[in-house]
Amino acid sequence: MASLVLRGANVVDGTGAGPVREGVIAVEGERIAQVGGRPPTGVELDLGGLTVVPGLIDAHAHLTLVDLADLSGRRTPVAVTAARIFHVCDVALDSGFTTVRDAGGADGGLADATRLGLVRGPRILPSGPILCQSGGHGDLRDPFDHHGRDEGLPGLVQASMRIDGADSARLAAREVFRRGATQLKVAVSGGVVSSTDRIEDVQLTVEELRAVVAEAQARETYVLAHAHNVGGIRNGLAAGVRSFEHASLLDEDTAHAIAAAGAYVVPTLAVLHLMELEWQEWGLPEAVLPRLEGLEDAMSRSVKLAAAAGVPLGSGSDLLGPEQRHRGMELTLKSRLLGPMEALVSATRTNAELLERADDIGTITEGKLADLVAFDGDPLQDPELFDQPERIVLVVQSGKVVKDLRA
């Protein structure tokens, strides 16, 4: 007897295959026991008229970066920061995201809180603080502030950690793993929200990056890199980086080099689309606006270049601020470039492969964790649904119903 039987919905399994009409999914405990065939006995959920997809995965989240005006955590009460973070986790789950890779900010503390059920939210794979060079993207100090401001609140949030030299990089990597990171994040280029660099700047040496990659490989995991420009990507490839985030200024040769290395690109279209509208709410200075000019169009071109070169494309929102309401917008925007099926696959099967969790998540397959999302409508026909959490009427995470609006 199954613990849960979902029947009647159109099922899109995340592999790229077309929908199965009036499908059957049986769940035993936390895993999928049966897909298709004659429905077994169990607690039945009638999902007629709905579309069921795998639990969505955000491969570039910042659940803890809720106040960009106070990333050091010095001015805001810790209780307020924690409440905002827990709210963002709650919103992510209601938006259909059952797993996120936190790409800088969260450590094992927040991951444990959601895993233990103390905080309602997605399954979290934390990267800890972003490893950055002095004066580079992630260095939170004001230009003439010689005192550290990036210590954060370990166990809750630390945005970044400065590294200078291979020994410093190795020590920082070990410290980040000590705090529960499941993979490491480095910054190899300037960034939009930086104050002391340009997006075109190349940051960290190959030697420094190799030290970080070696520490990750010793833990049987990998490194992802904030990387807007090709110089940073090339250094990352030489060092063995697995995942390149943003890749806004990609060229054709570098796209082919990424594909040849078996590495991934994770575009982050939503953050660029939203930042011009919400920069004040997020706590950003107006100075970021000129740095955004033309970047969304450039990233759209890079997505098409990468796809044409055969680079596996993950999906990440890069949302910031205290609400993070539009996590599904990444799929809507990617649908306009590559089509809705490819957008969905990027946020399910491809992301699971990127995160090295394909044995457990990413597709509706017997034996995998029962992470399932039901839309009121068909997002393959109307990709705007990806960004409409109110049309997500059912979310199942590890076999448990965590959202149900069907009534």
pLDDT at 163: 97
As a whole number, mean pLDDT of residues 295-301 equals: 96
Q: 145 burial class (0-12, 13-18, 19+ CB within 10 angstroms)?
A: exposed
Taken as a whole, the chain contains a residue count of: 407
Tally of CA atoms within 13 A in the half-sphere of 186 that contains its CB: 38
The residue among 148 and 246 whose pLDDT is bigger is: 246
Return the top range by mean pLDDT from 192-201, 275-284, 286-295, 296-305: 296-305
- β-partners of residue 162 are 132
Both structure tokens of 205: 């040496």
In tens, the pLDDT along 316-355 reads: 999 999 999 999 999 999 999 999 999 999 999 999 999 9
Structure confidence at residue 71 as a pLDDT band (50, 70, 90):
confident
Pairing of strands 4-11, 51-54: parallel
Give the angle 214-230-225 at the CA atoms, nearest 5°: 35
Tell me the C-alpha distance between 147 and 54, whole Å. Answer: 46
54 close to 13: Cβ distance less than 8 angstroms: yes
Over 90: is that where the pLDDT of 283 sits? no
Question: Which DSSP symbol is given to 18?
Answer: P
- The label of the residue with tokens 């026909």 reads 381
Share of the chain above pLDDT 70, in %: 99
Give the angle 148-209-159 at the CA atoms, nearest 5°: 35
Question: Closest Cα to residue 168, out of 212, 138, 129?
Answer: 212
- Asked if CATH classification 3.50.50.60 holds for the domain at 4-54+362-404, the reply, yes or no, is no
pLDDT at 38: 87
Question: Closest Cα to residue 316, out of 94, 69, 104?
Answer: 104
Residue 17 CB neighbour total at 10 angstroms: 12
Q: Please check whether the two domains, 4-54+362-404 and 56-327, share a CATH topology.
A: no
* Domain 56-327: assigned CATH number: 3.20.20.140
Both structure tokens of 95: 């938006």
For 361, list phi and psi in degrees, rounded to 5. -135, 170
Tell me the C-alpha distance between 98 and 399, whole Å. Answer: 11
pLDDT at 75: 85
194 close to 136: Cβ distance less than 8 angstroms: yes
For 25, list phi and psi in degrees, rounded to 5. -130, 120
Domain assignments of the chain as residue spans, ordered by start: 4-54+362-404, 56-327
List the beta strands (DSSP E) in 188-321. 223-227, 243-246, 264-266
238 close to 206: Cβ distance less than 8 angstroms: yes
DSSP 230-262: HHHHHHHHHHT--EEEE-TT--HHHHHHHHHHT
Structure confidence at residue 146 as a pLDDT band (50, 70, 90):
low
In tens, the pLDDT along 76-98 reads: 999 999 999 999 999 999 999 99
Q: CA-based Rg of the chain, rounded to a whole angstrom?
A: 20
- β-partners of residue 51 are 10, 375
Over 90: is that where the pLDDT of 149 sits? no
Both structure tokens of 71: 């990333």
Lowest mean pLDDT among 136-150, 179-193, 219-233: 136-150
pLDDT at 148: 59
Tell me the C-alpha distance between 252 and 250, whole Å. Answer: 7
270 close to 319: Cβ distance less than 8 angstroms: yes
